Copies of this chain bind each other. A is one copy, B any other.
C-alpha cells in the first residue's frame, strides 16, 4: 500500500504554497510585487477600471488571459444611476476579500479544512465631510465592522486563531487599518 499526501486543501495547492515560501527565502528579491489599475471616467459617477498586468518575481507577469473590467457608480441619492457599487463599497469588498483569502490560505497551511467562510461588513459615514459641508466629520468611514462566520474541521479556538492570524497578515486590512502613503499628480491634457 502506498501513502498519498494531500496537496490541495481548501482549493489551495499547499505544495506550491510551501515551494513559493522556500523560493522567496532563498531569493527575497522574488517577493517584490507591483500591482496596477487604470481608470477612465465615463459620465457622472460612472467610471471604469481595467486591471491586468503586474510585476512579480523579477518580471512582468503575463499569465492572465485577459483584462478585468470593473465599473463604479453611485446610487440615486448620491447623484448617480447605479452603474456599479460605489467606491466606499468597493473598499469594503477589498477588505472582505483579502481577509477571506488570508483565512483560507492560513487554514490550508495549518492543515485545517474549511467548509464555510462568510462575512458581513458595515461602514458608518457622515457625508457632511466628503460633501465639504463640515470639517467636524472625516471624509471616509468613521469605523468599519467585520463579522465572520467560519466553519471547518478544527476546534473553535483554532478557527478563531486563524481569523486572528489573517487579520495580522492581510494586505488590505493593513492598508485600511493603518493607512498608506499616497501621492497624486495631475497632467492637464
Which 8 pairs, one residue from A and one from B, show the smallest C-beta to C-beta distance?
A11-B44, A87-B98, A72-B97, A179-B179, A140-B175, A39-B96, A41-B117, A11-B43
User: Is B97 a contact of A35 with CB atoms below 8 Å?
Assistant: no
Q: Which of A57-105 contact B (CB under 8 A)?
A: 57, 61, 63-65, 68, 70, 72, 74-80, 82, 84-105
Known pairs A24-B127, A144-B183, A150-B187; A76 contacts B63 (CB<8 A)? yes
Copies in the complex: 2
A–B complex contacts, Cβ < 8 Å, 26 sampled: A11-B45, A24-B131, A25-B133, A33-B124, A33-B126, A35-B89, A35-B123, A39-B100, A39-B121, A41-B104, A45-B101, A47-B101, A70-B90, A70-B93, A79-B105, A87-B94, A88-B98, A139-B170, A143-B180, A145-B185, A163-B184, A173-B182, A175-B176, A176-B180, A177-B181, A179-B179
Q: Which of B122, B128, B151 contacts A188 (CB 8 A)?
A: B151
- A residues at B contact (CB < 8 Å): 10-13, 16-17, 20-21, 24-25, 28, 31-41, 43-47, 49, 51, 54, 56-57, 61, 63-65, 68, 70, 72, 74-80, 82, 84-105, 114, 116-134, 137-151, 156, 159-160, 163, 167, 169-189
Bound Cα distance from A177 to B177, whole angstroms: 10
Q: Which of B31, B102, B129, B185 contacts A146 (CB 8 A)?
A: B185
